[in-house]
Amino acid sequence: MRNDPKMDPVVDRGAIVSSAGCGRRPPTALRGTVADPAAGTVRLSLHRSRTTDQGPVVADPAAVHARHVDSPFIRACRGLPHDTVPVWFMRQAGRALAEYRAIRADHDFEQVVQTPELAAEVTLQPVRRYGTDAAILFSDIVTPVQAMGLGVTIKPGVGPVVDEPIRTIADLERLRRFEPDVDAPFVLDTVSILVDELDVPLIGFAGAPFTVASYLVEGGPSRSYTRTKALMFGDELTWHRLMDRLAGITLASLRAQVERGASAVQLFDSWAGALNPYDYQRFVEPHSRRVFEELADLGVPRIHFGVNTGELLGRMAAAGADVVGVDWRTPLDVGRERIPEGVGFQGNLEPAVCLGSLDHVEARVRDVLARAGGRVDHVFNLGHGVLPPTDPAVLTHVVELVHREGRTDGTLAPGVAPLRPEVESPRPDADTGGTDEPPHGDGPRPAVGR
Ligand code: 1CP
């Protein structure tokens, strides 16, 4: 633990008791137990990881992989027989949890990511709370480029913003080779703490070249990706050079996480859905394929996820993924048909459903399970990230329901059925004219880079 008063392992911060130790056990059996948020001030004690003078104890990755090889999550990713439908949530670490907000009250986002004890704690919190079958490392897709000194800041309520966007061939000089253990050792130390603590597999992740490029070129979040597309269509050589460098950064980051013990990786190409299949295939796929290909020797499952990618699912599988994430706009059975046999699928409960009534949540969970068809290669997830106002108790309920009613032998449990349109739309003539939600429930996307 560093000599920083803010890093004191015991922090009084309303409503939480938490410490180390985590896995798929009932919450009461965990060392870190979440108290009733209404119950007043209790202690949040960050765990003390096993450390040496050189940092946390580094586990033997082969031993870590052996520990999780028979877990439902890893077996589902490989399409191998197992009993329980595994479930985890994108953006499970974070804003929906009071215990996360308690940490963020004292530390900005970067401080949490760059302090292994804090990043590990925030990664463990949702696993304790929800009983998920996998943990996802707490970091960000821009962490590597930020650590390389590219002038990236995570602005609260906005997302990553870049001081000097990358738009010309000369700008590429700023994108040097990424050395994970030199540039971002804190990420690897976080992985080491986690694989020592977790009873479930840790998912490492990185942003795919296109999605990271969109932030670097636009200068921040965007709706239309105008500048990104202007570069792509206007100067193809610079575009491919940029993508090549970003693929190298992504690859180095993912390899290092696996070599420290991450059991699987997810490549987030969150904004690839801004492209049609032709442009995806020409401008993006070769670079994502390189990432997947050059990870193959590590032997861990590789998941590929994007938003609004109903038309790209086949291509995202062809890029070399073992599992393809289906966002919530595509019915899961339709998405499944677009993904070749031999490649697993992940998804896809609509995140906003978790803001509704429990009856509706249950019906929609059963709808997803029914559309998954009891297949052995299904990983249950949301169709994008957890929205900040989600009641954590709903997510716990979702996990319990999936574990109770999910089947992996090609059959459906009694009562598990797809929703029929007439059930979903009791007033078909009503004015639905809604707007699309912002990507992370952060309110309207800011004007940055549009
Ligand atoms: O639980 C987890 O999923 C682990 C933590 C995690 C991950 C996997 C964070 C923490 N970010 C990410 C990946 C990430 N970051 C993606 C891909 C996933 C997705 O599609 O949701 C993207 C697109 C980003 C970029 C980013 N970082 C945004 C989105 C901005 C936009 O373009 O709309 C935002 C808001 C951030 C900051 C961020 N990263 C993570 C959190 C919890 C936050 C919010 C910070 C906070 O206010 O607490």
Burial of 444 (0-12, 13-18, 19+ CB in 10 A): exposed
Segments of the chain with pLDDT less than 70: 1-52, 421-450
pLDDT tens for residues 376-420?
Answer: 999 999 999 999 999 999 999 999 999 999 999 999 999 999 997
β-bridge pairing 264-268 and 302-305: parallel
Q: Looking at residue 429, what is its pLDDT?
A: 59
> Residues 351, 390: contact at Cβ < 8 Å?
yes
> Residues 269, 248: contact at Cβ < 8 Å?
no
- E strands in 339-428: 344-349, 378-382
Q: Looking at residue 335, what is its pLDDT?
A: 98
* Cα–Cα distance for residue pair 32/123, rounded to 1 Å: 12
The answer to whether the CB of 89 is under 6 A from ligand 1 is no
Instruction: List the residue whose alpha carbon is closest to atom 47 of ligand 1.
Output: 156
Q: Please tell me the distance between residue 90's alpha carbon and the centre of ligand 1 in angstroms.
A: 9
- Angle in degrees, 0-180, between the axes of helices 209-218 and 236-259, rounded to the nearest 10: 120
Q: Please tell me the distance between residue 91's alpha carbon and the centre of ligand 1 in angstroms.
A: 7
Q: Looking at residue 213, what is its pLDDT?
A: 98
* Cα–Cα distance for residue pair 169/241, rounded to 1 Å: 8
Q: Where are the alpha helices (H) located in 51-172, listed in sequence order? A: 61-68, 72-78, 98-106, 109-114, 116-130, 143-147
Q: What is the number of the ligand 1 atom nearest to the C-alpha of 215? A: 32
Going by the DSSP 8-state scheme, the letter that residue 96 receives in this structure is: T
Q: Looking at residue 274, what is its pLDDT?
A: 98
β-bridge pairing 159-162 and 152-155: antiparallel
Q: Which CATH class is domain 56-405?
A: alpha beta
pTM listed for this prediction: 0.87
Q: Please tell me the distance between residue 137's alpha carbon and the centre of ligand 1 in angstroms.
A: 11
Q: Looking at residue 95, what is its pLDDT?
A: 80
Q: Please tell me the distance between residue 77's alpha carbon and the centre of ligand 1 in angstroms.
A: 23
The answer to whether the CB of 92 is under 6 A from ligand 1 is yes
Q: Looking at residue 426, what is its pLDDT?
A: 56
Instruction: List the residue whose alpha carbon is closest to atom 3 of ligand 1.
Output: 91
> Residues 123, 262: contact at Cβ < 8 Å?
no
Pocket test for ligand 1, best of 266, 440, 448 (most atoms within 8 A of CB): 440
Q: What is the number of the ligand 1 atom nearest to the C-alpha of 270? A: 20
The CA-atom distances, in angstroms, between 2 and each of 114, 197, 304 are 12, 20, 36
The answer to whether the CB of 112 is under 6 A from ligand 1 is no
Instruction: List the residue whose alpha carbon is closest to atom 28 of ligand 1.
Output: 159
Task: Indicate the domain borders of the chain.
Answer: 56-405
Residue numbers annotated as active site: 91, 95, 104, 140, 215
